[in-house]
Structure 1
Amino acid sequence: MRSLERNIGPVREAAGWSPSSWYERPQQQQPVYADAKELERALAQLRELPPLVTSWEILALKRLIADAAEGKRFVLQGGDCAESFDDCSSPPISNRLKVMLQMSLVLVHGLRLPVVRIGRFAGQYAKPRSADTETRDGVTLPCYRGDLVNGVAFDAQSRRADPQRLLRGHAHSAMTMNFVRALIDGGFADLHHPEYWDLAWVEHSPLQSEYRQMVEAIGNSLRFMETLAGESIGSYQRVDFYTSHEALVLHYEQALTRQVPRHWGWFNLSTHFPWIGMRTAQLDGAHVEYFRGIRNPVAVKIGPSVTPDQLLRLVELLDPDNEPGRLTLIHRMGAEKIEKALPPLLAALKASGRKPLWICDPMHGNTETVGGGVKTRRFQNIRAELDHAFDVHAAVGTRLGGVHLELTGENVTECLGGARDLTEADLARAYKSQVDPRLNYEQSLELAMLIVRKRGGLQAPR
């Protein structure tokens, strides 16, 4: 046994584990690289590149997640469904950050709790797919699996799994993180100046009036506290942001899994908070094997087909020591299934004495296809699943400690409904996602306000 750092408690190193032990397990959703030597050359370069995050940031986030599981914080996790190399530029990154800041301001004000901000960015460049190939006009090619793997254009060269993209993924993640850190350290998140966060294209939004009143109330409270203190309160001039992504391409994740001075064990230094998707959460699979040995806080997406026995076995594999802050379970059931599928899972974990952080992903279970084969999500279904999630947790006596959303700060029309009541006709106006539909600013802010109203009206679990 070795002792973890402050506030964590004793845990064991994973027996029989190494960063490469996943090779011996069944693998799902992995790219097929035609040239093994080309892949190894790219991985050799990747192993020599600097890490994207630090071990102390990872351990700090683990403590915050432990707090959230105890009801002392609320987690806001959000960002693009799949980042694009082409969108690694100032406006998309800063707009995404603005949305997250405004949502977290609503949550802090309404919930009276600190908010843990975790972006789906700086690494969300790979996506699982339901099929290996795609056919158009009689031509069959590999599916687009995200910019980390191949290109979106429908031609043989673009759809080839290219190992050089692993290096480009690292570079674009580093540039994204560098810009986010520079913005935050430069006062972009300063509560004294929330006007920095404004998005010009929504200045006439029906939600703006309510949001402005909230900002004014917070500003008045801040000025009052500073008057009492006789000085500016520096802690309100910056916030912490953490990164997350689905750790899908295991060659990439392994190359950035390293040991560090002054801390025992292995850290995935590509992100603070990696997660396993629903398609790769097999108990005997490569992803679960890889995840069980890293010291990061980790998450797993849980769908409606998971049984209580399967979930208990998965939790035992990933968190055998019931370590505070180690494990987050992100349920994504769908509005029509959550009331039936979620309660048995919550009850089983509660009876076992486990206390993971529970987060609701109301996006992925509510995807549908409308005219012309366009994928979309209805805001009313997203809202309904989130509503049901709070109610189910309250009924079982567990706690919903966060939300996981696909969102953007761009002026997109990808999800139906919301503040401007977008219709199917609106989808063609500004549908930009290459994979899944995202909430725009107004819909994201509306959902944050819903969380405040819903959670504020529920009693904390006993």
Structure 2
Amino acid sequence: MSLHIDPVFANSDSAPAGTNNLTGLDDWREMDPQQQPTYLDGPALDDALSSLSDSPPLIFAGEADVLKQRIAAASRGEAFVLAGGDCAESFADAQADKIRARVQTVLQMAAVLTYGGSMPVVKLGRMAGQFAKPRSADMETREGVTLPSYRGDIVNGYEFTEASRRHDPARLLQAYHVSASTLNLIRAFTQGGFADLRLVHEWNRGFLTSNPGYQRYEQTAREIDRAIRFMDACGADFDALKTTEFYAAHEALLLEYERALTRIDSRTGQAYDVSGHFLWIGERTRDIDGAHVDFLSKVRNPIGVKLGPTATADEALTLAEKLDPDAEPGRLTFVTRMGAGKITEALPELLSGIGDRLPHVTWVCDPMHGNTITSNTGYKTRRFEDVMAEVEGFFNAHQDAGTVPGGLHIELTGDDVTEIMGGATEIDDEGLRRRYETLVDPRLNHDQSLEMAFQVAEYLTRRS
């Protein structure tokens, strides 16, 4: 994250004379917004939103603009985007050790991908704001008892009790404060030497030596080691490599929260959502005439849209016109999430239908959400091999279409959980029982995340 930032109007909707204001940012309220909480205490909600509106920004407009430039480079094949983190953050897991482990995992993956692609990696964390999750049903029934579904810690609790499952507006403020402390810690890690390239490389060497199944990646590690020694011999300024940019991303699902954290940039008079650097619209809420598309069309952050296997070229083109009418490089990212069994047909058809009309859009692969299954032991899980098959299909489709595979968007943790089957550690159906900890969707553990990075580095090496 850049520490040299441009200010925004943090506590007011006012702006300098002659600049834009927040007109139009509330149009979404008339569009029947989907996947929103049902708050029963109106005054408490008003108080929470008022407090959020008066709170300092979590990120700054200048940071979001720098990220937009970085993502624009990925659209041209000059960088690669890596977005990784929890499926849904929890307040309880906002601990220094757990945050450090997630940041470390992303940094380790990025080091390998940087070498494989011979290009910078744009590091995004699904952190400091990824507290809300869309659900397929508003209610959940267990043993004859029906209660509201768990929608993430920003809305309600996971415990299956009436008090816990109540939609509580006080959680909006708690999410803000947890996000602020998480961002402070991420800044400390990435600016204070924790991200030193030599240190990250040593972590990866340790990962290889402690896992005999990963011998196939030792050649890549040796090549990175040789490159670092060469840089050192040439007098490279390793002090400049002790810090790195690291940006916060989340799904902009709860529109009241996002609206309360929208500010006017003092430089330009434009609206920015200061809850996170990069915001995305999910597959369930990307209706072109829907509330989420309308709201994010009016803020200047870089944004993403998830596209499932049923997405058509016409839909993608219409979304691009609505969200990025000026065809600004780095503004819009399409995140495809199609499933290993569908991507080989669906993505080529989508890319063929679009043709050369969206060269400024960045294409990123989410290989997680289309590959969810239920194990024989009843766990919601994914197979590592399916995840990697979708990644391979993503690269192949873009190679055939002559377009740029710009990045990965994955659910991961730095912990040694057992939530996804397969990989070199060979987690089987029974193995899921050992450390299945996610509250919503299964995540790659630390070893599986690095295994993915080494495999993707091979794809990038071929591309470069």
Give the TM-score of the pair, scaled to structure 2: 0.92
Residue 373 of structure 1, CA deviation: 2.9
**Deviation string, structure 1 residues 167-190 (Cα, Å, up to 9, x no partner):** 000000111110111112210001
Whether 2:81 is the aligned partner of 1:75: answer yes
Whether 2:97 is the aligned partner of 1:84: answer no
Contact 1:26 1:284 in 2 (8 A): no
Contact 1:414 1:430 in 2 (8 A): yes
**In 1: Cα distance, 2:462 partner to 2:208 partner:** 29
Structure 1 alignment gaps of length 5 or more: 6-12
**Deviation string, structure 1 residues 370-420 (Cα, Å, up to 9, x no partner):** 234310000111011111111111111111110110001101000000011
**Deviation string, structure 1 residues 271-301 (Cα, Å, up to 9, x no partner):** 0000000000011110000010000000000
Residue 354 of structure 1, CA deviation: 4.1
**In 2: Cα distance, 1:221 partner to 1:458 partner:** 19
Counterpart amino acid of 1:237? K
Relative distance call for 1:191 and 1:433 in structure 2 (3 A) is: same
Q: Indicate the residue corresponding to 1:25 in structure 2.
A: 31
SS in 1 for 2:263: strand
Backbone CA RMSD of aligned residues: 2.2
**In 2: Cα distance, 1:357 partner to 1:115 partner:** 14
**In 2: Cα distance, 1:358 partner to 1:17 partner:** 31
Counterpart amino acid of 1:80? D
**In 1: Cα distance, 2:22 partner to 2:275 partner:** 23
Contact 1:273 1:296 in 2 (8 A): yes
Contact 1:331 1:359 in 2 (8 A): yes
Percentage identity across paired residues of the two chains: 47
Q: Indicate the residue corresponding to 1:320 in structure 2.
A: 325
Q: Indicate the residue corresponding to 2:172 in structure 1.
A: 166
Contact 2:22 2:264 in 1 (8 A): no
1:199-214 superposed matches below 5 A: 204-206=210-212, 214=220
Relative distance call for 1:70 and 1:200 in structure 2 (3 A) is: closer
**In 1: Cα distance, 2:55 partner to 2:389 partner:** 44
Residue 197 of structure 1, CA deviation: 4.6
1:77-156 superposed matches below 5 A: 77-156=83-162
Q: Indicate the residue corresponding to 1:8 in structure 2.
A: none
Relative distance call for 1:202 and 1:48 in structure 2 (3 A) is: farther
Relative distance call for 1:427 and 1:320 in structure 2 (3 A) is: same
Contact 1:103 1:445 in 2 (8 A): yes
Residue 152 of structure 1, CA deviation: 0.2
1:213-362 superposed matches below 5 A: 214=220, 217-229=223-235, 232-362=237-367
Q: Indicate the residue corresponding to 1:10 in structure 2.
A: none
Match of 1:445 among 441, 445, 450: 450
**In 1: Cα distance, 2:113 partner to 2:204 partner:** 17
SS in 2 for 1:373: coil
Q: How many residues in Structure 1 have an aligned counterpart in Structure 2?
A: 447
SS in 2 for 1:447: helix
Contact 1:276 1:301 in 2 (8 A): yes
1:41-80 superposed matches below 5 A: 41-80=47-86
Counterpart amino acid of 2:253? L
- My pick for the range that moved more, 334-343 or 67-76, is 334-343
Whether 2:43 is the aligned partner of 1:37: answer yes
**In 2: Cα distance, 1:321 partner to 1:384 partner:** 35
Structure 2 alignment gaps of length 5 or more: 1-5, 7-18
